[in-house]
Amino acid sequence: MTRRFLPIALVFAAAIAYPVGVVSGGAPHFPARSDCVHPATKDGEIDAVFGHFDKRSDAVARLRVVLGRGFTGSKIEGDGCGRLKVVVHGIPTLAVGRELAAEARKVGLGVTLERAAP
């Protein structure tokens, strides 16, 4: 009886041990759209992002507002996760980015500083 069940037990043990071992390190991660947003934490290629949008019409509306309030050079781009973002590229340092964000806040615009996509 033992000889009959031992090999089967071995297969089941291996089949269960691997996923248990993996899950013991934490639940499986399911990528979300937020995974395409990488906050800038150091100087370098930084983007100022005026929002991520599901619909192109919403992105276009925000771009008009952003351009109308003086942030020339803003444009619409895909964010790599199926959404669109209104973005200004080429901010060299976090300090410059924070100044830009402060100016945006003065005119009622929210900005996030994000690491530019490679």
Residue closer to other proteins, measured from CB, 11 or 68? 11
Residue with tokens 């590229």: 89
**Distance of alpha carbon 114 from alpha carbon 42, whole angstroms:** 10
- For 103, other C-beta atoms within 10 Å of its C-beta total 14
**How far is CA 65 from its chain centroid?**
23
CB 43 within 8 A of CB 94: yes
Binding mask 12-51 for other proteins (x = CB under 8 A): -xxx-xxx--x-----x-xxx-------------------
Q: Is 18 helix (H, G, I), strand (E, B) or coil?
A: helix
Under rule CB under 8 A, residue 6 binds other proteins:
yes
| Smallest distance from other proteins to CB 23, Å | 11
Residue closer to other proteins, measured from CB, 81 or 100? 81
Binding site for other proteins (CB under 8 A): 4-8, 10-11, 13-15, 17-19, 22, 28, 30-32
